[in-house]
A and B are shown apart, each in its own frame.
Chain A
């Protein structure tokens, strides 16, 4: 999976990160922080390659 960018998304009530928005080719995705989700697993691999997730607004 070719992840172009990744950014945390914050729960407005708890102020905690609740998901990660990523851009993959022409698609925008919102990925729940769930180790069983294949896109979250891909994000972890992407981080292991030296990339970082941008902080939430």
Chain B
């Protein structure tokens, strides 16, 4: 082979193989983006939710008495500035059969078509991540596919030092993933489970055996003591059998990817809002302002408007008057933006005037279209 042919071949390999192009299917694997809260959120455990690092969901069922604090921590292995940190604040050593919690990222079907799942060409999938904890422990990492209910899992160790763990799963020739914008592939880190999920032999090959093979019975429970901690960062899910180096993306790139699912309209810094004038509207009548918000990115679906305070924490600025809001509602909201109505029950506004919606305190105003 000539030198030119060798270089051409090398280029072909770089372009078409696992090491070419964007590799990491996971969003915010480096835990750099935390629009909802970059500080600790306490008392987590009673219900599901997205609390700190974007895209990472806390999922629970079975009503464990265990509680934890979640935060975006300035910690990580060399090259990582942030991680997702869990601290157990209430232990639960009496684990009922139905209890389970895991940290999860849900991926849209249209974003995982390259896995060729459900075909004879199904690709191997490699998951890599950095973890550490307060002590040596074993947990389960797994994939769950929403349409067929098929799943696969493996155990991984945690020590008191940052260690990169790697798991490679075979491709799955069953269970085609629909090409759509719904939750299809779920990457899960199981940290607490009762016998409903652990009584079978862990399903380390793709299966649809039901819940009992989902989580290893040899694993630890994160809720076993109030000294328990779990740190996670550098999460990567990629096509192929090799774990390539973590794909660091710029903060701007990662934020843009996250904003398909969550947009903070009222970012804050140091406890103060940096953009208290949220949106511009028009006074419709003496008690109602119709405002419009154009979102910086097309979101997954029409988003929910979430206020961490009540409407009374928001004001309408009309000419020189400032009036407290008493209600709100999205109206004609689409994935690219739409209308938000603000009510001032006290009245006194003049139809046709321009109006600004203003928030004076450090309240979050979130557009949410998460999976």
Contacts and interface: CB of A to CB of B under 8 A. Distances in A.
Contacts of B284: 12
B304 A11 contact: no
Contacts of B46: 2
B55 to A, nearest CB: 13
A36 interface: yes
B302 A34 contact: yes
Interface string B260-299: 0000000000000000000000001100100000000000
A18 B307 contact: no
Nearest to B371: A38
Interface in A14-28: 18-19, 21, 25-28
A9 B331 contact: yes
Given A29-B305, A37-B304, A38-B370, A18 B330 contact: yes
B301 interface: yes
Contact of B341 (A12, A27, A29, A34): A12
A5 interface: no
Given A18-B329, A18-B331, A19-B329, A1 B305 contact: no
Contacts of B309: 28
Interface string B50-94: 000000000000000000000000000000000000000000000
A36 B182 contact: yes
Contacts of B369: 37-38
B311 interface: yes
Contacts of A29: 304-307
Contacts of B368: 38-39
A11 B311 CA distance: 18
Contacts of A1: 47-49
Nearest to A31: B304
B328 interface: yes
A38 B303 CA distance: 9
B247 to A, nearest CB: 27
Interface in B288-340: 288, 300-311, 327-333, 340
B201 interface: no
Contacts of B301: 34, 36-37
B181 interface: yes
A42 B341 CA distance: 23
Contacts of B370: 38
Contact of A27 (B48, B308, B330, B340): B308
A32 B331 CA distance: 8
Interface of B: 46-49, 181-182, 284-285, 288, 300-311, 327-333, 340-341, 368-371
5 contacts: A11-B331, A18-B329, A29-B307, A34-B302, A39-B304
